[in-house]
Amino acid sequence: MSVSDRIRAAGLVVPAFTLPTAPFSPYTLHQGLLTVSGQLPVRDGKPLFVGKVPSVVSAEQAQEATRLCVMNILGWVSHATNGDLERVERVLRLGGFVATADGYIDAPLIINAASNLITEIFCDKGSHARIAIGVASLPFGAPVEVEATFIVKADGA
């Protein structure tokens, strides 16, 4: 089963993005190393989740937000690979940040949702190193942010 087939089977949709006009890029691709910058739980530019975990956003909602971050990452991977997610040879690393209320120590539990989704989609190629950090705040009041690094095959390889 292909990566795209597994995404469809999970009932997920990879968003389509266009590069923003900004002094930075949402990803860089250099010699097969693709780094996607931190993605927030947004759809159509609007935050779907706002607040700290678990005081405003429950752990379950934060995990849902984390999965949305992964889908946004995959949108940029799709952009970088001209829509060919099969070019992903390996997921190297995920970095997850959770905006936590005082005393909350389960940031890894929230970021597990990203790791689980990545390995569900990419199977063995999805095994990765990871960091999960609780932080005081994230952009736009988001409860989570996830970034990732991949190895991708050259176009046409």
- With 90 as the cut, is the pLDDT of residue 155 above it? no
**What average pLDDT does the segment 73-77 reach?**
98
DSSP state of 5: H
Residue 21 lies in a domain: no
Separation of alpha carbons 74 and 71, rounded Å? 5
> For 11-36, what is each residue's pLDDT tens digit?
999 999 999 998 899 999 999 999 99
How does residue 157 score in pLDDT terms, banded at 50, 70 and 90? Answer: low
- With 70 as the cut, is the pLDDT of residue 65 above it? yes
Looking up residue 135, the CATH number of its domain turns out to be 3.30.1330.40
Check if the beta carbon of residue 19 is closer than 8 Å to that of residue 127: no
Residue 101 lies in a domain: yes
- With 90 as the cut, is the pLDDT of residue 156 above it? no
Can you give the residue range of the structural domain that contains 79? 3-15+26-152
Q: How many domains does the chain have?
A: 1
Residue 154 backbone phi and psi in degrees, to 5: -65, 150
